[in-house]
Amino acid sequence: MPIIVKYESYWFLPCFNQEYRYTSFDVIPNYNNLVYLDCSYRNLSVLPELPNSLKELRCTNNQLSILPELPNSLKELDCHSNQLSILPELPNSLQKLNCHSNQLSVLPKLPNSLKELLCFINQLSVLPELPNSLQRLWCRNNQLSVLPELPNSLKYIDCKNNQFIKKIKHKYFIKMIYL
């Protein structure tokens, strides 16, 4: 049986242990009450409908080409190192998005609550408008030719190895970005 952890009224399920191979997420006890789901390194090609209670989803290093609809409660999404070419609509509650090392050519509209965006090693040629809450941005190794306006909240940016040379003017720094 899998290790299911209950903390206060929350259920956590780390699925990374190779000993547990689910053919269906329906068999997972308390699946509809989970707040944390880690199904990384499972060679999954599809995810089931996600519970409305979910706050954090880690589904890294799988074979996913698409994600299901994301619950409105989600705060962190870590879906790096898959085969994603598109992301679903992002919930307004999302604070961290880690989608690096996929095949994304475009990102959806970013929620106003987003603080961290890790979208490096994709095929992005443009980024959407960046929310005013964004503090950290990693967009290196893409095909970006221009950056959107940078919010004043931004404290860190890594955008090297893209298709442009441009000075970034920001209240905290001025950097050269090279081809």
**Structure tokens, 9:** 């009224």
Instruction: Specify which residues 11 forms β-bridges with.
Output: 6, 34
Predicted local distance difference test score (pLDDT) of residue 7: 53
The residue among 151, 72, 75, 70 whose CA lies nearest residue 113 is 75
Quote the CA–CA distance of 167 and 26 in Å, as a whole number: 51
Q: Render pLDDT for 100-152 as a digit per residue (tens, 0 to 9).
A: 999 999 999 999 999 999 999 999 999 999 999 999 999 999 999 999 999 99
Sorted by where each starts, the structural domains of the chain and their CATH numbers stand as 1-83 (3.80.10.10), 105-179 (no CATH)
Q: What is the pLDDT of residues 5-62, one digit of tens each?
A: 555 445 555 554 455 555 556 666 677 888 888 889 888 999 989 999 999 999 999 9
Rounded to two decimals, what is the model's pTM?
0.84
Report the distance separating Cα 177 and Cα 28, nearest Å. 47
